[in-house]
Amino acid sequence: AASVSWARRCVSETGAERAHQLIGGKRQRFRDMLRLGCQFISPSQHVAEAFNSVYGAGLCRVINNGIDLATEAILAQLSPVPLNPGKPRIAIVAHDLRYDGKTDQRLVHDMMALGEKIELHTFGKFSPFTGQNVVNHGFETDKRKLMSALNEMDALVFSSRVDNYPLILCEALSIGVPVLATHSEAAQEVLAKSGGQTFAATDVLRLAQRRKPEIAQAVFGATLDAFRMRSRVAYSGQQMLEEYVSFYQNL
């Protein structure tokens, strides 16, 4: 067991060292592109700020991700569902549910430990979560089915530490599903656009036991209807499209 652990550390350290060795070459490539007149766009402010801190102020512009028009049409057809009379239904969405960088495994296990207080629904591949209060839906490729299922939830819990500007948050918020997100620059930026905030994992665990209107009030300081209307405008794909058109017209 000790040798396996040692081997894993070596592989991890070698990968980190390899990535570090590539930084110089990649930065030079970006500088070459800038000299050629290339312009850069980031979907998120924190990524643009990191880029500009290395290559120069104002060299990377921000255009937030928005919902594509096809998905927006699907969302527009989803009506608000009646309030859930049973235990709170909480969603976890990730491509690979095993990856701790995307899904905080400890937080999910803490939610599972709440037992009958909540009902946990996972959407994604390779779910390692099983329990009396867990429903694993698997990886849903049909966007309409996924959004319809999320529409039934009291909240989406988001704990990724590796996303830049996650579209799943925009989509969930646009149909009026509150998002309980742990602290990260990406989640803070997305939620701030509709007046929301992020929380410590302990607060997410506490709020996950509440009803949908209470969660909306805690995250956004607004009623469920007000938060839903605000979010539908904030993450509109039309707004993103107009910003890109303006950018290309000014090249």
Do 191 and 149 reside in the same domain of the chain?
yes
Domain carrying residue 114? 69-234
Q: Residue 1: which pLDDT band, with cuts at 50, 70 and 90? A: very low
Specify whether 48 is located in the same domain as 80: no
Domain for residue 246, yes or no? Answer: no
Q: From 166, 131, 133, 171, select the one nearest 149 (Cα to Cα).
A: 171
- Cα separation, 51 vs 88, in Å, equals 41
Q: What would the pLDDT profile of 49-103 be if each residue is shown by its tens digit?
A: 999 999 999 999 999 988 988 888 998 899 888 888 999 999 999 999 999 999 9
Q: Are residues 129 and 202 in the same domain?
A: yes
What gap in Å lies between CA 103 and CA 161, rounded to an integer?
Answer: 8
Q: Is the pLDDT of residue 14 over 60?
A: no
Q: What is the pTM of this model?
A: 0.87
What is the token pair recorded at 136? 């694993």
Distance CA 166, CA 38 (A): 25
Model confidence pLDDT, tens digit, residues 107-157 = 999 999 999 999 999 999 999 999 999 999 999 999 999 999 999 999 999
Total domains, the chain = 2
The verdict on 163 and 75 lying in the same domain is yes
Which of 11, 44, 62 is the C-terminal boundary of a domain? 62
Q: What is the CATH number of the domain that holds 104?
A: 3.40.50.2000
Do 92 and 38 share a structural domain? Answer: no
Contact 133, 120 (CB under 8 A): yes
Identify whether residues 111 and 145 lie together within a single domain: yes
Q: Tell me the pLDDT tens digit for each residue of 196-227.
A: 999 999 999 999 999 999 999 999 999 999 99
CB 92 within 8 A of CB 122: yes
Domain boundary among 11, 41, 62: 62
Residue 242 falls within a domain, yes or no? no
Bigger pLDDT: 24 vs 206 = 206
Exposed e or buried b per residue across 142-151, where buried means at least 16 C-beta atoms within 10 angstroms of its C-beta: eeeebbbbbb
- The per-residue pLDDT for 2 is 46
CB-facing half-sphere around the CA of 193: CA atoms within 13 A? 25
Q: Is 243 domain-assigned?
A: no
Pair 29, 93 in one domain: no
Judge if 226 and 158 occupy the same domain.
yes
Indicate whether 45 and 77 sit together in one domain: no
Which residues does residue 92 pair with via DSSP β-bridges, in sequence order? Answer: 122
